[in-house]
Structures are given as structure tokens and as C-alpha cells.
Amino acid sequence: MLGALALSVLVAAPTATGAPPTQGGGGGAEYVAVPKVAKVTCVRGCASRGRAKPGSLLSLSGSALAGVRQVTFLGSYGKADNAVSQVTLARETVLRAQVPAGAVSGALAVATADGTRSAPTRPVAILPAPAPEPGAELTPVPGPRAQGAPALETGTSRTKAYVGARRAVTFSFRLSDATPSALTVELVRASDAAVVKSWSPQGVVPGQVQSVSWDGRIGTAAAKPGRYSFRLTAASADGAEARSSQVGDVQRDAFDLYDHIFPVRGKHDFGGAGAGFGSGRAGHSHQGHDVFAACGVPMVAARGGVVQYSGYHAAAGNYLVIDGAGSDYDYAYMHLAEPSPFRAGDRVYTGQRIGAVGETGNAQGCHLHFELWGAPGWYEGGRPFDPLPALLAWDSWS
Ligand SMILES: [Zn+2]
């Protein structure tokens, strides 16, 4: 039975939205009710104390919900961490949907088949899935193996990887007992079990360690953040097949891909009121957020890309602006202790050291002044926006 558990994901109703008229085909005005979500409750497969986790079934109550088809989990910032779930039941005042793999804490919004969307709810806490099991050393696989198929050992270099890093993650394998006639390595996205990339290594010799590496891209585009896993399939000449993991296993040879790393690699804090975006400064308002850390703490590129500016400015001190590769954002880092070794036009990878925290220019105390600019970018028609939600999210997983 679907008795409601504790209401720890209870959310308040957003401000009532009106029902805007839309033109119907018959010439008269047709009124489409805007769906409204007042309350979100975890009803099945919940974590302790009624909290939601990937796979949990949620009940959303409110009004005008009968036409809702999709629930979007808006995540912590931007669109990269959005996750969408199809509704499993929709009635006028209640609907049900499962928390998709990869959904993270944040507001929810629902949408009808014709795209009419509710206001976002208050944030709903979603417990993250357990981290993948580390397995950098080659170990025998638990997956299915037909008689006569090669025996497989696999290992994956890391459980956490970043888009735009020089080398995100390496999958290694070794076969024994039979020479494979066909061999495939697939990269599986956990959120929808889709194979997003595959490799067909040739000339694999039993007993020899082979590997494939993935840089977090599919074609030229950055892959969606979330859980991925490698799956090796090998068949002997007579067709006996072995696989490194069961279908749906998101722990073995798995890793979590993140789109940014937190740029300050040491103890830090996010300052007081004056550190925030939009706080008052002489003659202007603060265009970024100040992250305080000791002078000399290493600073890395939150997201790789191409250096757009590197130089010195009386207010900014030593500064660097990076045009994020595969990202809509530009990233500005200011008050560096020393000029960055990188110059305009240089390629920088995610997590690569770009300098150290300092207080050059107009700075009180050692800190990173960090700016995020939306497309088309830094002083190219883009606008800076409050980077704190993004910084807090990056800090939580870096
Ligand atoms: Zn600042």
C-alpha cells in the first residue's frame, strides 16, 4: 500500500499562477489551467525518514495535474544537472513519478503534454546514490560467463571524473582461458541505461592488459554529468560470451562524471555579506563571489577551455578568464598571487593548476574573486550572474 511516510520533503505551494488564455482552434479563447504543485511526498522506495533517493516513488499533490506528463528535477544550478521523469499516474489533484537516476536536490517543476509548466517547488532533498565501488586494480568479474567463454578481469582508474579533464577515466581489462573473436567495451549511462560510446579493441591477446580511456565527451560535446559504467563483452570463436557486469549494475567499473571541480584546492570559506554577488562596491556592485583561503592555496580551472585573457589590472590584480570548452560559461579568476603561467589562447584542462590564491590588485585579505558569465561571454555581450549556487554545488563533490 502507498501510505504516505514522513513528510520531510514537504514543500510549500508556490504563489498561485493565473490561467493565461491561449487561442483554441475553434476561434474562441481556450483556458489552459496551469498545473500547481503544493506538496511533494516520498511514498515508496524512500530512504530513512521519508527522504527521497534515486528510484523512490514521489507523490505530488496540487491542482490541474491531470494533464501533466513530465516532472523535471531542476537540480542545484543550470540545466546540466536537470533530470526528467515520466509521470506514472496523473489525476486532477495528485500525480506520481519516480526519482530518476542522477537527480539531485533542488526544486521540481511539472509540465503538461503541450508544455504548460508549473512554477518550481521549494527544494526537495534527494539523497545521492552511494559512490561507485573503487576498483582500480584488475579483479575477476562477477558478470555472466558461458562455458568456453574467456575469463575476464577489469578495473577502472577512478570513481570520480570531470568533464574537460585531460584524461577523465581509464578502463583496463585482461582476458584468459580463450582467445576472443569479438570484443566490445561499452560505456553505459546509468540514468537511462543507454550505451553512449563503444570501443572494439582489435588484436587482444590473452594475458595482456589492455585499456581504453574516456575524456568525458561524446563526439565533441561534453557528456551529461552523472553515473557511468564500463561493460566489457567478449566472445570466443564458437560464440560463447562473457560479460563484465550484469545489465543494470551501476557499481562495477562505475564512476561519477562531474561538470566542474571546485577551484580552490584547500581550506576555504565563502565570506560574509560583502563577499556576495551584487554587494556594494565603490561606484559599482560586486560582479562575483569572494572565496577566502590562505594566500598560496592552489587554484585550479573549475572547467577547462581556452584562456581568453590573462593579465594584470589595478582592481582585479593578476587575473585569468577562461572560455569554458563545451560550456556556455566564461570563468574569471582574480587576485592571483602571481601572474598565471597561462596566456590568451592557451588550452587549459579542468582541474589543471592555473595559479594560487593571493591578494593582488584591490583586495582585502587573500581570496579568489570568482565570476561566472553567461553566453556569449565575458565582455562579449554576456552578463555575470551569482556564482554562489554553482560554487556550493562544486564544493560538495570536489
Ligand atoms: Zn570580489
The 3-state secondary structure of 310-325 reads EEEECCCEEEEEEEEC
CA of 279 to the centre of ligand 1 (A): 9
- The pLDDT assigned to 185 comes to 97
CA of 371 to the centre of ligand 1 (A): 9
CA 169 to each of CA 16, 65, 214, 218: distance values in angstroms, whole numbers, following the listed order:
47, 43, 6, 14
CA of 393 to the centre of ligand 1 (A): 19
- The pLDDT assigned to 143 comes to 87
CA of 232 to the centre of ligand 1 (A): 49
CA of 278 to the centre of ligand 1 (A): 10
Q: Which residues of 190-210 are buried (b: 16+ CB within 10 A; e: fewer)?
A: bbeeeeebebeeeebeeeeeb
Condensed to tens digits (0 to 9), the pLDDT of residues 82-128 reads 899 999 999 999 999 999 988 988 999 999 999 999 999 999 999 98
C-alpha–C-alpha distance, residues 149 and 168, integer Å? 30
Helix, strand, or coil (residue 185): strand
- The pLDDT assigned to 80 comes to 75
- The pLDDT assigned to 31 comes to 67
Weakly modelled stretches of the chain, pLDDT under 70: 1-31
CA of 352 to the centre of ligand 1 (A): 22
C-alpha–C-alpha distance, residues 264 and 262, integer Å? 6
CA of 310 to the centre of ligand 1 (A): 17
The DSSP element (H or E) to which 388 belongs, if any, is: helix 388-397
CA of 307 to the centre of ligand 1 (A): 20
CA of 375 to the centre of ligand 1 (A): 21
Pairing state between β 210-214 and 217-218? unpaired
CA of 104 to the centre of ligand 1 (A): 29
CA of 287 to the centre of ligand 1 (A): 7
Quote the pTM value: 0.80
Q: Closest Cα to residue 300, out of 330, 260, 257?
A: 260
C-alpha–C-alpha distance, residues 196 and 49, integer Å? 36
- The pLDDT assigned to 179 comes to 84
C-alpha–C-alpha distance, residues 77 and 90, integer Å? 28
CA of 370 to the centre of ligand 1 (A): 7
CA of 313 to the centre of ligand 1 (A): 13
CA of 292 to the centre of ligand 1 (A): 10
The DSSP element (H or E) to which 137 belongs, if any, is: strand 135-140
C-alpha–C-alpha distance, residues 379 and 397, integer Å? 30
C-alpha–C-alpha distance, residues 124 and 73, integer Å? 9
CA of 187 to the centre of ligand 1 (A): 41
Q: What is the largest CA-CA distance in the chain?
A: 77
Residue 3 CB coordination number (10 Å)? 6
